[in-house]
Amino acid sequence: MKGFDVLIIGGGLSGSATALNLSKKGYSVLVIEKKNSQDYIPCAGGMASSMQKFLPLDIKDAIESKIKNVEFRWKGSDNVIADLTGESPFWIIKREKFDQLLLDESLRNGVQIIRQGLVEKIIKKNDKWEITCNNKRRYICEFLVIADGSESQWSEYFKLGPRKPKFANTVSLRLKGLGEIPRDTVRFEFGFIKYGFAWAFPLKESLNIGLGTFINDGLLENQTLNNQVIKSFGFDDFSYKTIHKKLRIWNGIHRINGDKVLAVGDAASLCDPFLAEGIRPSLLSSFYAAECIDQCLSGKVDDLNLYTKKINNNWGKSMAWGRRIAQVFYRFPRTGYQLGVKRKTAPKRIAQILSGEMSYEDIAKRVIGRLLTKSGS
C-alpha cells in the first residue's frame, strides 16, 4: 500500500492546478483521473490574465488570443463594444493545452497520476484516508482533494458545497475559422437564448462557441435557433458536433472543507452563475487549497476551515451578487440589455469585471436597483 501526502480525485483543471501548487511546495501527490485523455474540453477558455499570479508557471504557451474588445449584440444587432485596452487583458486559452501544461509540470515535479482510475471506496483509518481504486490497489494519504468537476459524486458523499446543487445547461462546439469575429474580440449574444446567452471566443484558427441557460432549467434543444445563433457569428455553411454539459454553478455560501478533505473548482460549485466563468474560481480554489493543506501539513494550523473562509470571502461574496443579477437579468433580458449593457458607463464596468478588477459586489446594488425599478414599472 503506497502512501502520499495528498490524493486528488479528478485530473482536470482544478485537480492539475492543485497538484502543481502542492508539488511546488514539496509534497507527494497522487491524482486519480477517470479518463484516458481528452481531445476536446467543452470550455470557451476565457480567463482574466490577472489569474497568472495564482499559478507557479508561465502559461504563455496555452494562450491563443489576447482580447482587446468585447462585443455585445441583441439578436444579432444593437451593437455595443467594450474596449479592454488599458485594463488588464483578458486571454483565451485552449483548455486541452492549458490543462496539459499544468499536468506535465506537476508530473515533472514528481506528481503521480493513475488514468482510467475510479475510486471505489474511501475510509478513514488512524486519521489517514485509505482509498480503494478499481485497479484493486489501495492508497493511503493524509489529505484528500475532491476535483471531479460538475458531476462530482464525492463532494456529495462528503457533504461539501450546496445540498441541492444548481446547474446551467450548456451546448458547446468548435468551428474551423473565425467567422466574422475578429481575432482580438469576444462576442456575447443576447436575446436568442431564453434564460441565457451565447458566446463566441476566438482561438488561433478556430472559434469556441457556447450557448448557456442559467435559470429555470432552460433547454437548448431548438436546433433551428441554435443554427441561427451560429450564423450570427458569421458562418453560412457549417457542420458541427455539439457537446451538451450541465455546469454546476455557485448556489450559496457553504462549507467546502471537512476534516482533512476539501473540494475545488466545479466540484465545489464555484462557477459564476451569471457568465459561467469557472477558470478563475478553479485557479483560486486550487491555490488556496494548496496553501491551507501546506499549513496543516507543516503544523501551523489544525484544520482546513480557513479554506472555506478564504473562498467565501474572495469569491463567494461576489457570486452572491452574480446570482442575484442572473435572476433578474435572464428574466427580463431586454431591459437587462438596455440597462446593464447599453448604458454609457456599462462597457467599462463589464471590461473591469472580465479582467478581474471589479467584482459583481462592486456594481450590483446599482444595477439591480435599476433593473427592478424599470422591470416593475
Ligand X SMILES: Cc1cc2nc3c(=O)[nH]c(=O)nc-3n(C[C@H](O)[C@H](O)[C@H](O)COP(=O)(O)OP(=O)(O)OC[C@H]3O[C@@H](n4cnc5c(N)ncnc54)[C@H](O)[C@@H]3O)c2cc1C
Interface residue list for ligand X (CB under 6 A): 9-15, 32-35, 42-47, 118-119, 147-150, 170, 172, 201, 210, 245, 247, 265-267, 271, 276-280, 282
Helices (H), 298-337: 305-311, 317-329, 333-336
- Minimal distance, residue 126 CB to ligand X, in Å: 25
3-state SS assignment for residue 114: strand
Residue with cell 462530482: 152
Query: Where does residue 76 rank: exposed (0-12), middle (13-18), buried (19+ CB within 10 A)?
Result: middle
Least separation, in Å, of the C-beta of 142 and ligand X? 19
Closest distance of CB 45 from ligand X, Å: 5
Report, in Å, the least distance between residue 220 CB and ligand X.
11
Residue 196 beta carbon to ligand X: minimum distance, rounded to whole angstroms: 11
- Which amino acid type is present at position 353? I
Question: Dihedrals φ, ψ of 59, to 5°?
Answer: -105, 15
Q: Are 7 and 15 in contact (CB under 8 A)?
A: no
Other beta carbons within 10 angstroms of residue 377's beta carbon come to 6
Are 146 and 154 in contact by the 8 Å Cβ rule? The answer is yes
* Side-chain-facing half-sphere of 1: CA atoms under 13 Å: 10
Q: Would you say 232 or 282 has its CB closer to ligand X?
A: 282
Give the nearest distance from C-beta 302 to ligand X in angstroms.
27
CB of 195 to ligand X, least distance (A): 15
User: Residue 90 or residue 235: which is nearer to ligand X going by CB?
Assistant: 90
The answer to whether 300 and 293 have CB atoms below 8 angstroms apart is no
Give the nearer residue to ligand X in terms of CB position, either 271 or 368. Answer: 271
Closest to ligand X by CB, 109 or 172 = 172
Cell of 244: 451538451
Closer of 119 and 346 to ligand X (Cβ): 119
Task: Answer for the pair 31, 141: CB distance below 8 angstroms, yes or no.
Answer: no
Nearest by Cα to 21 from 147, 113, 106, 110: 106
Which C-beta is closer to ligand X: that of 78 or that of 130?
130
Residue type, 207: L
Task: Find the helix or strand (DSSP H, E) in which 142 lies.
Answer: strand 138-146
Instruction: Considering the complex, state which of residue 33 and residue 87 has its C-beta at the smaller distance from ligand X.
Output: 33
Measured distance CA(173)–CA(43) in Å, rounded: 9
- Shortest Cβ contact with ligand X: which residue? 278
Find the shortest distance in angstroms from Cβ 117 to ligand X: 6
In the bound state with ligand X, the residue whose beta carbon lies nearer, of 191 and 281, is 281
The C-alpha atoms of residue 141 and residue 6 are separated, in whole angstroms, by 5
